[in-house]
């Protein structure tokens, strides 16, 4: 089936439609400005959130694979997600069912759907910007430079671990830094950028998450950052909403928000960090 | 008479073809005082599961709406145990966090779609669970508008979600917070309270029969 390269099947995931809604709007507008026709996949379900490591628990792969069936039904070969957790579960399940026996068993169970035939690639906002758009084109599309704003690039876990599913070198990643550079920001590489935020301990053991969030934010601030960006709504929630008393107050944004602002999209969270001063072009940090 | 064999709770009976499961059970001698309500497919009391010979699938439907088939194995599920936490609607906000706080098992959904397959109303039950998880209360209410609370999805769910209670809460939240107010109803209620129609009503109730008949015949009818 011929596919339109600018048409982009999009899997939002639950967070993007709920607490992370502000992350989604600007990001999608920015993708439209980059020439993509983003189309939300119909009747998508939760990605499964936490990838199941049990070898015999095929049921846990039904959710992610069902989403891939929907992408297949659109006639598309790739699907975009903006969330690191969704990227992890969808990518790993797509790989898991590459083994024919597993695929056959899952297809037999999902008897109300078309059989999944495999061959769907899952892309993340970062890999899309790197591998399809490219840093140079991205830089050329910037309408408003971040003008040296010091952006701490926080990866967290699932973008880089386990190694075989990493979006970049799991020990020395650079994709997020290169994107920030392309947008005119100054990436702040800090030691805790690949530390876990505490993830779902936020539900039952928020004290652990607070401890980790405090460490990560102090490290980012200590290395001179004006703000932190993530590409995971859960990391963003944990670093921002589980910020312990006394931790640095620097903003924690979704990467798509600074992308959107740079592309000229209205993005109040970024605008609040920068006061437009065309005469000098100097950023004015918001006092954090 | 064209008779077929059905197995009710494991015991075989010869019953006339063409009966519903409910009628067949009564024909076989069952007195239904639970698991039987409106007999019209609306009340959801007569949830039933069955299998057919040579078919691995377990089917679910309403006994009052489903014709018997030869060799059918039938069991009724007159009541579905399901936890329904107490809540005060006026203290809730219409979002996903509210649903998850009261029904945390929603997050256990693995998108297996077994609920959808069990639904006698042919609702997109799994899609409603997924809409709950992303906090789209209005969509949940719309997906589940025709739910009869039979509990079959809840019985089949591997995540042990109490679907019909979540749906009821979602429809209540939708009605209380997300649906536009019917301003004309409010206005009319205020007019009635203020006595706008009292004169006409008093006139009507004091009329003689002949006057009433004459007024009726002279009434204006909308075209």
Residues in chain B with CB shorter than 8 Å from the CB of A60 are 110
Interface check A63 vs B, CB under 8 A: yes
Model pLDDT, residue A272: 86
Residue of chain B with shortest Cα separation from A106: B112
Name the pLDDT band for A278 (thresholds 50, 70, 90): very low
- In this prediction, residue B55 carries a pLDDT of 96
**What pLDDT, on the 0 to 100 scale, is given for residue A279?**
37
The reply to whether B47 falls in a domain is yes
**Is A62 in contact with B158 (Cβ distance < 8 A)?**
no
Residues of B with CB below 8 A from A14's CB? 96, 130, 133-135
Residues of the domain holding B48: 3-76
Which residues between 154 and 193 in chain A have a beta carbon less than 8 angstroms from any beta carbon of chain B?
Answer: none
Which residues, in sequence order, are CB contacts of A58 under 8 Å at separation 6+?
A: A102, A105, A106, A109
Q: Cβ contacts (< 8 Å) between A43 and chain B: which residues?
A: 124, 127
Q: What angle do CA B67, B70, B75 make, to 5 degrees?
A: 65
Mutate one of B110, B130, B132, B157 to test the A interface: name it (highest A CB count within 10 A): B110
Same domain, B104 and B42: no
Instruction: Report the gap between the CA of B142 and the closest CA in chain A (Å).
Output: 14
Q: Residue ranges per domain, chain A? A: 7-125, 135-271
Instruction: Indicate the residue among B34, B54, B76 that finishes a domain.
Output: B76
The answer to whether residues B94 and B157 belong to one domain is: yes
Q: Is B158 in Cβ contact with A109 (below 8 Å)?
A: no
In this model, does residue A225 exceed pLDDT 60?
yes
Residue A133 has pLDDT above 90, yes or no: yes
Give the containing element (helix H, strand E) for B109.
none
Nearest by CB to residue B112, choosing from A14, A18, A59, is A59
State yes or no: pLDDT of B29 exceeds 90.
yes
Q: In this model, does residue A259 exceed pLDDT 60?
A: yes
Q: What is the pLDDT of residue A3?
A: 61
B23 is a domain residue: yes
Binding-face residues of B in 28-57 toward A, CB within 8 A: none
A-chain CB neighbours of B111 within 8 Å are: 45-46, 48, 62-63, 66
Bridge partners (DSSP) listed for residue A121: A78
Domain A7-125's class?
mainly alpha
Instruction: Give the residue among B91, B96, B80 at the shortest CA–CA distance from B165.
Output: B80
**Can you read off the two tokens belonging to residue A258?**
């600074």
Which of A17, A45, A112 lies closest to B117 in CB terms?
Answer: A112
Of A2-16, A89-103, B117-131, where does mean pLDDT reach its minimum? A2-16
Q: State whether residue B113 sits within 8 Å of chain A by CB.
A: yes
The string of pLDDT tens digits covering residues B77-112 is 989 999 999 999 999 999 999 999 999 999 999 999
Model confidence at A138: pLDDT above 60 = yes
- d(CA A284, CA A59) in angstroms, rounded, equals 52
Residue where the block lists tokens 């107490």: B86
Flag whether the ipTM exceeds 0.85.
no
In tens, the pLDDT along B132-154 reads 999 999 999 999 999 999 999 99
pLDDT at A275: 65
What average pLDDT is seen over chain A?
91
Same domain? For B93 and B71 the reply is no
Three-state DSSP state, B75: strand
**pLDDT for position A55:** 75
Specify whether B104 is located in the same domain as B172: yes
Residue linked to tokens 């083994």 = A99
Chain A residues in contact with B127 (beta carbon < 8 A): 43, 45
pLDDT class for A51, splitting at 50, 70, 90?
confident
Task: Look at B130 and A44 and tell me if their CB atoms are within 8 Å.
Answer: yes
Q: How many domains does chain B have?
A: 3
Q: What is the pLDDT of residue A52?
A: 84
Inter-chain CB proximity A63 and B111 less than 8 Å? yes
Residue B148 lies in a domain: yes
B75 at A interface, C-beta within 8 A: no
Q: Which 3-state string (H, E, C) describes chain A?
A: CCCCCCEEEEECCHHHHCCCHHHHHHHHHHHHHCCCEEEECCCCCCCCCCCCCCCCCCHHHHHHHHHHHHHHHCCCCEEEECCHHHHHHHHHHHHHCCCHHHHHHHHHHCCCCCCCCCCCEEEEHHHHHHHHHCHHHHHHCCCCCCCCCEEEECCCCCCCCCHHHCCCCCCCCCHHHHHHHHCCCEEECCHHHHCCCCCCHHHHCHHHHHHHHHHHHHHHHHCCCCEEEECCHHHHHHHHHCCCCCCCCCCEEEHHHHHHHHCCCCCHHHHCCCCCCCCCCCCCCCCC
Percentage of residues of chain A with pLDDT beyond 70: 94
Shared domain for B115 and B164, answered yes or no, is yes
**Contact in structure between A216 and A236 (CB atoms under 8 Å):** no
Q: Give the C-alpha separation, A211 to A226, whole Å.
A: 21
For residue A241, the tally of other CB atoms under 10 A from its CB is: 14
The CATH number of domain A135-271 is 3.40.50.11810: yes
Single pTM value for the model: 0.85
Q: Do B171 and B109 share a domain, yes or no?
A: yes
Whether pLDDT at A239 is above 80: yes
The alpha-carbon gap from A58 to the nearest alpha carbon of chain B, in Å, equals: 10
Cβ–Cβ contact A58 with B under 8 A = no
CA distance A283 to chain B (A): 36
B36 and B111 housed in the same domain: no
- pLDDT value, residue B222: 79
Confidence at residue A281, expressed as pLDDT on a 0 to 100 scale: 40
Q: Residue B95 falls within a domain, yes or no?
A: yes
The size of the A-B interface in CB pairs under 8 A is 46
Closest to A213 in 3D by CA, of A223, A204, A201, A226: A201
**What pLDDT score does B223 carry?**
67
Mean predicted confidence (pLDDT) in A28-36? 96
Give the distance from residue B26's alpha carbon to the nearest chain A alpha carbon, in angstroms: 34
- Same-domain check for residues B66 and B95: no
For residue B185, tell me if it sits in a domain.
Answer: no
> Is A57 near chain B, with CB under 8 Å?
no
**Minimal C-alpha gap between B41 and chain A (Å):** 25
The partner residue sitting opposite B109, judged by closest CB among A46, A109, A110, is A46
User: Does A66 contact B at CB distance below 8 Å?
Assistant: yes
Whether residue B223 is contained in a domain is answered as no
B117 contacts on A by Cβ (under 8 Å):
112
Nearest to A62 among B110, B117, B124 (CB): B110
Question: Do B121 and B149 lie in a common domain?
Answer: yes
Residues in contact with A247: Cβ distance below 8 Å, sequence separation at least 6, in sequence order: A213, A214, A217, A218
Does a structural domain hold residue B222? no
Residue of B nearest to A21 (CA): B134
Determine contact, residues A236/A197, Cβ cutoff 8 Å: no
- CATH code, B66: 3.10.20.30
- Tell me which chain B residue has its CA closest to the CA of residue A61: B110
């Amino acid at each position: 089936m011929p596919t339109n390269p600018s048409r982009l099947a999009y899997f939002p995931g639950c967070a993007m439609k709920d607490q992370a809604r502000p992350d989604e709007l600007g990001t999608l507008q920015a993708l439209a400005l980059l020439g993509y026709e983003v189309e939300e996949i119909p009747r998508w379900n939760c990605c499964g959130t936490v990838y199941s490591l049990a070898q015999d628990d095929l049921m846990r792969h039904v959710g992610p694979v069902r989403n891939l069936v929907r992408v297949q039904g659109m006639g598309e070969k790739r699907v975009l997600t903006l969330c690191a957790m969704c990227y992890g579960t969808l990518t790993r399940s797509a790989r898991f069912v590459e083994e024919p026996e597993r695929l056959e068993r899952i297809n037999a169970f999902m008897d109300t759907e078309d059989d999944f035939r495999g061959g769907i690639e899952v892309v993340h906002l970062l890999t899309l910007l790197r591998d399809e758009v490219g840093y140079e084109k991205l830089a050329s599309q910037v309408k408003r430079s971040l003008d040296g704003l010091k952006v701490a690039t926080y990866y967290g876990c699932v973008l880089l671990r386990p190694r075989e599913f990493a979006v970049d070198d799991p020990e020395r990643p650079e994709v997020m830094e290169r994107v920030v550079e392309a947008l005119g920001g100054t990436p702040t590489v800090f030691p805790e950028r690949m530390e876990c935020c505490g993830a779902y301990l936020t539900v039952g053991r928020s004290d652990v998450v607070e401890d980790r969030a405090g460490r990560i934010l102090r490290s980012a601030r200590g290395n001179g950052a004006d703000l932190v960006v993530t590409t995971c709504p859960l990391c963003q929630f944990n670093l921002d909403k589980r910020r312990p008393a006394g931790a640095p107050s620097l903003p924690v944004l979704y990467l798509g928000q600074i992308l959107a602002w740079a592309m000229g999209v209205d993005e109040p969270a970024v605008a609040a960090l920068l006061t437009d001063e065309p005469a000098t072009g100097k950023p004015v940090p918001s006092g954090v | 008479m064209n008779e077929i064999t059905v197995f009710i709770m494991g015991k075989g009976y010869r019953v006339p073809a063409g009966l519903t499961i409910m009628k067949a059970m009564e024909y076989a001698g069952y007195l239904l005082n639970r698991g039987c309500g409106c007999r019209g497919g609306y009340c959801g009391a007569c949830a039933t599961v069955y299998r057919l010979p040579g078919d691995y699938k377990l089917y679910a439907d309403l006994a009052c709406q489903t014709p018997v088939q030869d060799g059918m194995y039938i069991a009724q599920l007159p009541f579905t145990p399901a936890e329904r936490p107490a809540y005060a609607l006026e203290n809730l906000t219409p979002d996903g966090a509210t649903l998850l706080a009261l029904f945390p098992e929603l997050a256990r959904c693995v998108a297996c779609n077994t609920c959808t397959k069990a639904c006698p109303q042919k609702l997109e039950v799994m899609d409603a669970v997924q809409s709950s998880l992303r906090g789209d209360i209005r969509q949940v209410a719309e997906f589940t508008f025709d739910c009869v609370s039979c509990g079959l999805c809840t019985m089949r769910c591997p995540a042990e979600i109490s679907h019909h209670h979540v749906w009821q809460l979602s429809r209540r939240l939708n009605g209380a917070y997300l649906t536009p107010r019917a301003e004309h109803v409010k206005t009319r209620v205020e007019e009635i309270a203020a006595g706008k129609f009292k004169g006409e009503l008093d006139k009507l109730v004091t009329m003689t029969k002949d006057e009433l008949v004459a007024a009726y015949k002279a009434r204006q009818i909308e075209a």
